[in-house]
A and B are shown apart, each in its own frame.
Chain A
Amino acid sequence: MADKIELTINGQLVTADKGMTILEAALSKGMYIPHLCHHRELEPVGACRLCLVEIDGKWKKTVISCKTEAKEGMVVQTETPEISEIRQATVELLIADHDVDCLACGQNTRCALQRVADHVGLNKKRLQRLKPPEKKLPIDDSNPFFNFDPNQCVLCGICVRTCDELQNVQAIDYAYRGLGTKIAGFGDKLRIESSCESCGECIVRCPVGALTEKDSPKPTHQVKTVCSFCGCGCGLLLGVRDNRIVSAQGNVNSPANKGRLCVKGRFGYKFVNHPDRLTSPLIKRNGEFVKADWDEALDLVTDTFSKNKGEKFAAIASAKATNEDNYILQKFTRAVMGTNNIDHCARL
């Protein structure tokens, strides 16, 4: 159990784990401090400057709460007139440089910038005065699974840190300076030409609509299951809509992957509803496959199997199928067909 400390935030006594930042201490008690670049899994960088707070007493000063450790006895104010003023200006500058087309944005209703703006409160007139001339940057849609829209980007750097700290891929970073700053791959080439591995972990963490998955209708519900590609056994939440799989999300409660996924886990489910799926039994007649119903196909198979019991029979099992499927297949081979001729790809 972590050591505890006590501090006061907005007049309320708050208990926090030793080592927490002021922002974490506040958020852990459900107290909102506006923020964009904070992510619980990433090192704080203090890029967005929105989480400013004022500390009274011996520490008296204005600090960014995401990089300031909460200390015993601290007295913190998150909403003084001075802070509100600074924050207002910061948000206005962000919004002025943002493509505010919320209803058509993939992150609508889940957007951290919407929440910040809602909390701070925007003045339309002031915003209009700040609005720079319309200069839309091209959307990078080169990756088959996601788009990057720099016009929606708030330069929080969460994607950059995810790619570095969590994935160790380092495919993207800040490029250029000042107003021209943007997130880019090496040489500012298209994402598809970068060293990006398309794991999609940055999309999951993007607080705004800058990184969005392509063709991703929202699921009506999710089903907890396990990925079917490699032996990692990552926990998946498959999104379902109209009896089709439309999304996959890492299950943070799964001990194997703790919510993280690779490109196959996140996007590879798309084979499930592929039009080439086999949908009925097929029997080869005169070299051509002909559709059959189950009874016909099963009768034909059992008729032939019954004549080839024992060492004339073998089964190859599938390392893709479930334990239950495999248990039944080996039981069938041994108990019904009378042979131990069963193996699968384990030794390949």
Chain B
Amino acid sequence: MAGLAASLGSGAMTNAISELGSASAILAIGTNTTATHPIVALQVKDAVRNGSKLIVANPKEIELCRFADVFLQHKPGTDVPLLMGMMRVIVEEGLHDKSFIESRCEDFNASEKSLAEFDLNTVEKITGVPQDKIIQAARIYATETPASIIYCMGITQHVQGTDNVLAISNLALLTGNIGKPSSGVNPLRGQNNVQGACDMGCLPNVYPGYQAVTSPEAKAKFESAWGVALSDTAGLTHTKIFDACYEGTIKALYLVGENPVLSEADASHAIEAMKKVDFLVVQDIFMTETAELADVVLPAVTFAEKDGTFTNTERRVQRVRKAIASVGDAKSDWWITCQLAKRLKGKGFDFSSSAEIMEEISTLTPSYKGITYTRLEKGSLQWPCPSEDHSGTPFLHAEKFGTDSGKGKFKPLTYRKSAEVTDSEYPILLTTDRSLYHYHSTMTRRVYGLNVLNNEELMNIHPEDASVLGIEDGQMVKVVSRRGEVEVKALVTENCPQGTVSMTFHFFETPTNVLTCCELDPVANTPTTKVCAVRIEGLNS
């Protein structure tokens, strides 16, 4: 998100999901779309059925490869060289959109110069992808317009995550594939309302609507609206909050609807941190592995028991409606937080409905200004929706970019190696992914049928690697990283390239994230969950 915000002025998906179906070419990189965003994947498959070209770039041979014209199986952590290689082909063959670069972009020259180190011999060596495939992919992406890029955690969960995103936006700007229908840069947001949580300012550096806490105007605006003095120091990011709990500088942690014991990279560290913090309040729907560590657990309602709005990955704000009464004495998250606020003498927490909260949101959040519950009754709205007579924005950057200059910014890039490297002790790379049948763990692990369909963690390993290590399909193995170890059953499959194994993180029985690395991307502070050096030891069953 930090990358796109810097280059395009907004970190959100540029296009609507439905526009993908009409794209002439789609580049799906770092997304196992059929498992993580099945309905977006349907649009991709529809596009292919209608004759569009599909390029899949992924270390694993994912389901979407069945539909791909080109499959670029690059090594984990080599997205920048791969994309720079494609750009180099495009520039050398003169396939870039010169008039778009001229009229809509800036800093192209520096970015073009940074392509120098990415000749295809070098790129092939780093990525493991044959040159002819990179050329083929580059030509398809540059010539089949409109072209869309979709990406997900495979791009961001790296120590080079921000660079990866910048490489993607460079590629889109280079070919003028942005600011038009079916043409853009589309980060597929993971959780149902991760877009909304960002929009609402649940980030340490911005108020709702991405208004910087360090901006005196924004601070004054929110101080006046909320009637209190506010801090102009950006807060700590997610991973650093756990560090601060560990170090003892944070004494009280209020954790709502998240299960870091399973989801946090280097989970053992997060667990220690939560054990160390003086006072941990967990607000959730089940007694999660994280809630077990709490001093106080507050029961929240599920989406089926409350009114409100979710903002999906395409910036679409939609109404969530209460279908049943609260289970037991569980309450809405906003109600609980308001009770705490009022008991602490906070002003401005006397809300009696979610609709009233949305009224306040829309007065303070420019992109939500035109969004009201009355309008949402008639249908959803895609932000930016700056006024009540505005019908919402299906695709971004039509006229100008959201940057200060209004131009799309090219960024020069170099190849930086992953922080986690293999060595003789930890010779294999572990990458993480998701299953179609689970969404993290708290909810889906409690749906009986989903656990019939997928009931245990399976470490995917290439037959060659399995044979070298003497591991048979179905055998239990121990996976050891520099941070921890887990035992897991092996699935021998050619889906995984040689030298790389993969695991999901849905199963408390196999807490994959005790292995992963929380080395951070320096800009976005995203941990490098997707690359982790491990060794594998066969266990006698």
Q: Which residues of A contact B (CB under 8 A)?
A: 143-145, 165-168, 192, 197-199, 223-235, 238, 240, 243-245, 253-258, 260-265, 267-274, 276-284, 289, 294, 297-302, 304-308, 310-348
Contact = CB atoms under 8 A, between A and B. Distances in A.
B249 A145 contact: no
Given A232-B17, A342-B203, A328 B230 contact: no
Nearest to A276: B286
30 contacts: A143-B449, A144-B453, A225-B321, A229-B192, A245-B323, A256-B18, A264-B436, A276-B446, A281-B298, A283-B296, A284-B295, A308-B251, A308-B278, A313-B252, A316-B258, A318-B257, A318-B258, A319-B258, A320-B257, A322-B196, A325-B332, A329-B337, A331-B349, A332-B340, A332-B341, A332-B349, A341-B235, A343-B238, A344-B194, A344-B202
A256 B308 CA distance: 18
Tell which of A334, A338, A347 has the most Cβ of chain B within 10 Å: A347
Contact of A335 (B328, B346, B437): B346
Interface stretch (B35-43, B79-87, B413-421, B472-480): B35-43
A256 B527 contact: no
Interface string B256-270: 111010011100000
B297 A289 contact: yes
Given A321-B257, A322-B309, A341-B236, A231 B200 contact: no
Given A308-B251, A318-B197, A282 B297 contact: yes
A322 B235 contact: no
Contacts of A330: 200-202, 207-208
Contacts of A302: 340, 343-344
Contact of A226 (B1, B249, B252, B310): B310
Interface residues of B, number: 149
B238 A347 contact: yes
Contacts of B156: 347
Contacts of A263: 38, 436-437, 450, 453
A322 B309 CA distance: 5
Contact of B250 (A199, A314, A333, A338): A314
Given A226-B303, A274-B447, A326-B201, 5 more contacts: A260-B39, A271-B443, A310-B231, A321-B197, A347-B527
B337 A332 contact: yes
Contacts of A308: 251-252, 278-279
A322 B308 contact: yes
B38 A199 contact: yes
B199 interface: yes
A279 B330 contact: yes
Interface of A is mostly: mixed
A238 B313 CA distance: 21
Contacts of A300: 296
Contacts of A234: 39
B328 A278 contact: yes
Given A262-B436, A336-B344, A348-B263, A343 B236 contact: yes
B14 to A, nearest CB: 15
A338 B231 contact: yes
Given A302-B344, A319-B197, A335-B348, A324 B334 contact: yes
Interface in B232-263: 233-239, 241, 244-245, 249-258, 260, 263
Given A316-B255, A323-B308, A243 B236 contact: no
Contact of B333 (A265, A267, A316, A329): A329
